[in-house]
Amino acid sequence: MADGSFNELYRDTLKDVFLRLANEQLEQGADGLTCADTYAEQGKPEFTLAYLLLTEVADEVKRDILARAYEQRALLSEQKAEAMAEEFHRPFPMIKVEAQKDRTAARQVRSGKRLRRETRAISIQLN
């Protein structure tokens, strides 16, 4: 199932600033698992991942929490896209594309796979 340990798979996907902020909170006595779970419920996978990388708990638990963070962000993004579409009377398809990427990331995490976030260059011609 998994291609490596949780920390091996996901450490390189996170900017150091998130780890630094999480570490500061842990040094002040915060519980890493509680913080990770709270950020997952808020749909913030970067902060969720930072706390999970600094917390000793089974990889399966870490994968579940991180996947929930991506799923929650996807849900919140879709809700935002719908609200903005109603307010501005036009669709916001790129928000929905990002939500789909988050759902894909959640599936990858649950499967113990590396995150493969698609990035494509957009070609713009200026005439």
Report d(CA 60, CA 43) in Å as an integer: 19
Is 35 a domain residue? Answer: yes
The residue ranges of DSSP E strands in the chain, in sequence order, are none
In a domain, residue 22? The reply is: yes
Sorting pLDDT into bands at 50, 70 and 90, what band is 2? low
Which range marks the domain in which residue 46 is found? 6-110
In a domain? residue 116: no
Whether residue 77 contacts residue 95, with contact meaning beta carbons closer than 8 Å, is answered with yes
Give a yes or no: residue 12 inside a domain.
yes
pLDDT, tens digit, for every residue of 40-53? 999 999 999 999 99
Whole-structure pTM over 0.85, yes or no?
yes
Report the number of distinct structural domains present in the chain.
Answer: 1
52 found inside a domain: yes
The mean pLDDT of 108-119, rounded to a whole number, is 83
